[in-house]
Structure 1
Amino acid sequence: MANWNDPQPSNRNAWSGFGASASFAPANQAAYDMGLRRYMLSIYNYMASGVLLSGIVALVFASSGAAAAVFATPLRWLIALAPLGFVMAMSFGLNRMQTSTLKALFWAFAVSMGLSLSSIFFVYTGPSIATTFFATAAAFAGLSLVGYTTKKSLSGFGTFLIMGVWGLLAAMVINMIWPSQGLGLVISLLGVLIFAGLTAYDTQRLKEQYAYVAGSDMMGKVVIMGALSLYLDFINMFTFLLQLLGDRR
């Protein structure tokens, strides 16, 4: 599953150098706005393509019967942890990697996430998965629009949410050791709220980063890492919402 997947602390710090002492005053506001739209569209295209690829891989893997066989063996741990490995590799190695390497790792991550997510087809019904996916897509679009258009800074709100992610991870570990249906329900509810907030925060953060990377060699890397952040916001919101609303088999 995907509930561990948030590279936010490392990703957010990775680009903290941009703008520490920089100032940016676009000479041509129209050209700046057009560049910003292209930049954000590139991020959304990569993110949406990654989600689509993961969905196709998950559906094919689950339908083939291979998933049922693999999840009955210790290989299930490799499938579950592989996406985390890709996230860590991209987050900690991005300054040394070429943009093309980051792109390859992003697509490999999307495939590994698809393999991991295939397990939901054995737990929840197909219609409930589809309904939850489209509900998540609608919520994501609305929240991302809020983050893009709001004039209010969400930086303080984002710091609070990042702390919430770590608290959520701790609660999930506790619930794994001492299972509790009530705690599981609280975790799912908080997970939806936290990653909904992070969707708006990450959108605003990525929009503001454009001023410092526009026209530089770093922009390609920012686009890929931005797509990864939004992908994880979407997938985590989807899986937590599925735990709340999904019809179990």
Structure 2
Amino acid sequence: MNNTSFDNVSLQQANEKITQRFITAVYGWMVAALAISGAAAFAVFNSQALFSLIFGSRFTFFGLIIAEIALVFMLTAGIRKMSFTAAAVAFIAYSLVNGLTLSSILFLYTGTSVVRIFIITALMFGAMSIYGATTGSNLQSAGKYLMMGLIGIVIASLINIFLRSSSFDWLISFVTVGVFTGLTAYDSQKITQAAKYAQDNETYKKVAVIGALELYLDFINIFLALLRLFGKRR
């Protein structure tokens, strides 16, 4: 084997390491965000002071909701102008605030039910993530329809705020599981494709954060929808 061949092999190995680091970073950020959200939720559940602070005032609760929306918008719309450090801090802040608001589920559903649904969500998410990363099918066209479905879910949810229909809510939750399960495969494929072109620079570190945010949102929405469908209330 000549020097050129050795150089090509070395370059290929280096690229494979960068690709693996990128994928590891994406899922590492996602798991960290879930852990932060879970810790924040349990902190509120075990603290009367935090519970009173967050749920004792509509101003505080809706202030946190607005903060969540602002942080997601900041990340998705302003990621190019942000530094990697700023993006990472914004993502961590979002997962923390989201955990504070999601703590309400621990008061509504039994602990056993929450754990069981979380495990089911993890299995579904893992299966669809593997499928998206390994399938030879192009999921781009499916992604467009899934995004249309997501818009439909948002509109239907807003309408049901006024209707307050339990049957309509059940239907929305059922569709939500299907849409975000599909989006998990779609987003996983996007991340796998992006990993092929990943470089060891700040730009791709920020891409990893955005990828983690997308997967985090997929996981959380599947989890909440399944909990509404099958969770056992206290």
Tell me the TM-score normalised to structure 1 length.
Answer: 0.86
SS of the residue aligned with 1:247? coil
- Over aligned residue pairs, what C-alpha RMSD do you find? 1.6
| Alpha-carbon distance change, 112 to 192 in structure 1, aligned in 2, over 3 angstroms | same
- The ranges of structure 1 where at least 4 consecutive aligned residues each deviate by more than 4 angstroms after the TM superposition are 26-30
Give, in whole Å, the separation in 2 of the partners of 1:109 and 1:181. Answer: 29
- Tell me, yes or no, if the aligned pair for 2:19 and 2:198 is still in contact at 8 Å: no
Between 72-81 and 148-157, report the one with greater CA deviation.
Answer: 72-81
Alignment-derived partner of residue 38 in structure 2: 55
Between 66-75 and 182-191, report the one with greater CA deviation.
Answer: 66-75
Give, in whole Å, the separation in 2 of the partners of 1:158 and 1:94. Answer: 22
Identity percentage of aligned residues? 34
Give, in whole Å, the separation in 1 of the partners of 2:198 and 2:13. Answer: 17
- Which has the larger share of helix? 2
Give, in whole Å, the separation in 2 of the partners of 1:44 and 1:33. Answer: 17
Q: What code does the residue aligned with 2:66 have?
A: L
Cα deviation per residue 1:33-54 (whole Å; 9 max; x = unaligned)?
3322221111101100110110
Alignment-derived partner of residue 173 in structure 2: 188
Give, in whole Å, the separation in 2 of the partners of 1:134 and 1:201. Answer: 21
The number of aligned residues is 224
Alignment-derived partner of residue 16 in structure 2: 33
Structure 1 residues not aligned, in runs of 5+: 1-25
> Which among 49, 59, 83 is matched to residue 98 of structure 1?
83
Q: Cα offset for 1:213?
A: 3.7
Structure 2 residues not aligned, in runs of 5+: 1-8
Alignment-derived partner of residue 3 in structure 1: none
Trace 1:103-182 onto structure 2 (pairs within 5 A). Answer: 103-182=88-167
SS of the residue aligned with 2:196? helix
Give, in whole Å, the separation in 2 of the partners of 1:49 and 1:102. Answer: 14
Give, in whole Å, the separation in 2 of the partners of 1:123 and 1:80. Answer: 19
- Tell me, yes or no, if the aligned pair for 2:18 and 2:198 is still in contact at 8 Å: no
Give, in whole Å, the separation in 2 of the partners of 1:99 and 1:111. Answer: 18
Q: Cα offset for 1:82?
A: 2.0
Q: Cα offset for 1:29?
A: 4.3
Alignment-derived partner of residue 46 in structure 1: 29
Cα deviation per residue 1:128-155 (whole Å; 9 max; x = unaligned)?
0111111111111111000111111100
Matched, 1:71 2:55: yes
Q: Cα offset for 1:216?
A: 4.0
> Which among 199, 204, 214 is matched to residue 214 of structure 1?
199
Give, in whole Å, the separation in 1 of the partners of 2:57 and 2:48. Answer: 14
Q: What code does the residue aligned with 2:56 have?
A: A
- Tell me, yes or no, if the aligned pair for 1:67 and 1:119 is still in contact at 8 Å: no
Alignment-derived partner of residue 4 in structure 2: none
Q: Cα offset for 1:211?
A: 3.2
Q: What code does the residue aligned with 1:119 have?
A: S
- Tell me, yes or no, if the aligned pair for 1:53 and 1:110 is still in contact at 8 Å: yes
Tell me the TM-score normalised to structure 2 length.
Answer: 0.91
- Tell me, yes or no, if the aligned pair for 1:188 and 1:243 is still in contact at 8 Å: yes
Cα deviation per residue 1:217-243 (whole Å; 9 max; x = unaligned)?
311110111111111110111011100
- Tell me, yes or no, if the aligned pair for 1:67 and 1:118 is still in contact at 8 Å: no
